[in-house]
Structures are given as C-alpha cells and as structure tokens.
C-alpha cells in the first residue's frame, strides 16, 4: 500500500520540485553528492532508480554511459513521472514506469545495478520493500540506497515540533510522523540482513550540517509538504509563519544549520 498522502502531494507539487532553490538546497547538494558517488560496474545491462522523481539523476547517469545500458526509473507520483519522461525524451534506453519500493514492475533477478536517492524513508512497508528489492536484483547485483536516519534534521525538529503539535493536534502529529520511516543504523542493518547476504552488505552513516538562509531552507520545504496536508488552508499560512520565525531564531554566523543524518546501504557484488 503506497503512502497516498505523500504521493499525491509530490504529484501536486512536481513543478516546484526542480526549482533552483530546492536543487541548490542542502537536500539538492546531498543528492548530488550521493549521485556522484555512484559508479556503474563493467558489464552492467539494467540500471534501476527507485523513486526517480523528475529523472534528474537518471538522465545524468544515462548521459555518462554507453547506449547499450538500459535505465529504468520508477516513481508512484504521476506528475513526477511526467516530468521525468519529458526530461529523458529522446533517450531510447531510458524508461519511466509507475512503481514503488513495495511493488517494482520488473522481472525477478533482472537488475544489475539498483540505486535510490532519498526516497526509501517514504516506504509504507519496510519488510515488503526490502524483499522486493531482493527479488528484482540479480544474484550478483549491486545496490546503493541513500535515505535519512533517525536523527535527521534535529535542529529543525526541536524548534518546529511544538508548533506542529499545536496545529495538527496530538493525533495528527503522530499520524504525520508515521508517514516517514526514519531508521537507526542498527535497525537498518537488521532489516536488510534478513533479505541480503550480510557479508556483501554494509551501512555507512553520516551527519553533515548544512548552513543556509531561511529562504534557502524554505526552498526544500516542498519535499515535506505531504506531512502537513491535514492543516486547514486558512491556518496553514499562520503555521508557516510561525515555523519560519522559529527557524530564523536558529540563525548564527554561518547561517541556519540543518543536519542531515544519512544512511547509505550498500550491497556490493559478490
């Protein structure tokens, strides 16, 4: 079962996703860094991007690769897929499909190289998703998943949780929290070890603090708007204003800090 609130919000806001402010925000930079760390192995025939969004990473990889390699990007948000399809038009070796971690529209043992950049935390079913990843990967396939960890964004969380509690109410706040899975490194290891050979599996954990202006950080807010759809439209503006004031209070000499807690699950070739 896909997370319909999140998917619908991403689809609704797809046009804003490629705004310069989002692309150059801490999340845009972290995504670029993750992308630049990917290296397709020799002999790779099918590459899969799960949660491909507007197709930016997929196109970058396809452009750097020989045309014999087939690329598939899947995303559950219709308008994100449309933008990805537009972006990759003319690339005969790139396909954009409707799919998600919980249900990947590819044959078993068909994928040589699977990656995902900041999407896995939106899955609604961790076990099913990992089993699905294991199903589509070839036995010697390689996988790189980048997603947020349990302690992500701690500066913002501390400042904004009391505000969201006020606007969402206790039940709404907890429902909102459950829209996202934020694992500890230990929990991620336990989860992936159930479906993959632990000897080929490793998890790199990192904390990187990014400093930006309020406007710069607000540029990536489009990524989490799905959490706040329960707030009535007439109250949303006031809520946003309170959140902005709270974030502004974090301003220091270097800017407003935001720490990305990233987990990178790697499955190396055997």
Partner 1 sequence: MNALSEDRLVDLVVAWAKQNTRKGAAVGLRIDKDTDLIATGLLDSFGFVDLLVYLESEAGCRVDLIDADPSEFSVVKGLCRLALKNHRADEDGNGQLHYR
Select from 227, 15, 260 the least CA-distant residue to 156: 260
Least CB distance to partner 1 at residue 156 (A): 10
Number of residues that bind partner 1 (CB under 8 A): 19
CA-based torsion, 61, 147, 104, 100: positive or negative: negative
Helix (H) or strand (E) run with residue 165 in it: helix 154-177
Say whether residue 161 binds partner 1 (CB under 8 A).
Answer: yes
The Cβ of residue 174 has, within 10 Å, a number of other Cβ atoms equal to 11
Site string for partner 1, 22-61 (x = CB under 8 A): ----------------------------------------
For 122, the token pair is 């939106």
Say whether residue 169 binds partner 1 (CB under 8 A).
Answer: yes
Spell out the residues 6+ positions from residue 207 whose beta carbon is closer than 8 angstroms to its own: 151, 259, 260, 261, 262
Among 29, 128, 135, 150, binds partner 1 (CB under 8 A): 150
Among 2, 173, 243, 256, binds partner 1 (CB under 8 A): 173
Say whether residue 210 binds partner 1 (CB under 8 A).
Answer: no
Among 15, 107, 158, 197, binds partner 1 (CB under 8 A): 158
Among 33, 95, 154, 189, binds partner 1 (CB under 8 A): 154
Among 93, 103, 151, 230, binds partner 1 (CB under 8 A): 151
Q: How long a stretch of residues is the chain? A: 270
Angle made by CA atoms 260, 237, 155, in degrees to the nearest 5: 20
Largest CA distance in the chain: 55
Residues in the site for partner 1, rule: CB under 8 A?
150-151, 154, 157-158, 161-162, 164-166, 169-171, 173-174, 176-178, 182
């Amino acid at each position: 079962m896909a997370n319909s609130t999140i998917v619908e919000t991403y689809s609704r806001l797809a046009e804003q996703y490629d705004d310069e402010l989002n692309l150059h925000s801490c999340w845009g930079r972290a995504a670029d860094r993750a992308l630049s760390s990917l290296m397709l192995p020799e002999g790779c025939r099918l590459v899969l991007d799960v949660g491909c969004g507007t197709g930016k990473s997929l196109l970058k990889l396809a452009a750097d690769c020989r045309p014999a390699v087939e690329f598939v990007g899947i995303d559950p948000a219709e308008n994100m897929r449309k933008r990805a399809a537009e972006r990759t038009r003319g690339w005969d070796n790139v396909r954009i499909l409707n799919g998600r971690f919980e249900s990947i529209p590819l044959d078993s043992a068909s994928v040589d190289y699977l990656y995902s950049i900041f999407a896995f935390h939106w899955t609604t079913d961790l076990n099913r998703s990992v089993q699905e990843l294991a199903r589509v990967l070839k036995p010697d396939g390689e996988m790189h998943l980048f997603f947020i960890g349990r302690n992500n964004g701690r500066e913002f969380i501390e400042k904004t949780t009391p505000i969201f509690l006020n606007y969402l109410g206790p039940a709404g706040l907890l429902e909102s929290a459950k829209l996202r899975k934020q694992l500890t490194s230990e929990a991620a290891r336990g989860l992936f070890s159930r479906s993959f050979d632990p000897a080929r599996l490793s998890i790199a954990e990192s904390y990187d603090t990014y400093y930006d202006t309020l406007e710069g950080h607000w540029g990536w807010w489009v990524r989490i708007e799905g959490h706040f759809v329960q707030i009535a439209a007439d109250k949303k503006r006031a809520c946003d204003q309170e959140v902005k004031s709270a974030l502004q209070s974090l301003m220091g000499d270097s800017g407003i800090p935001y720490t990305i807690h990233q987990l990178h699950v790697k499955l190396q070739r055997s």
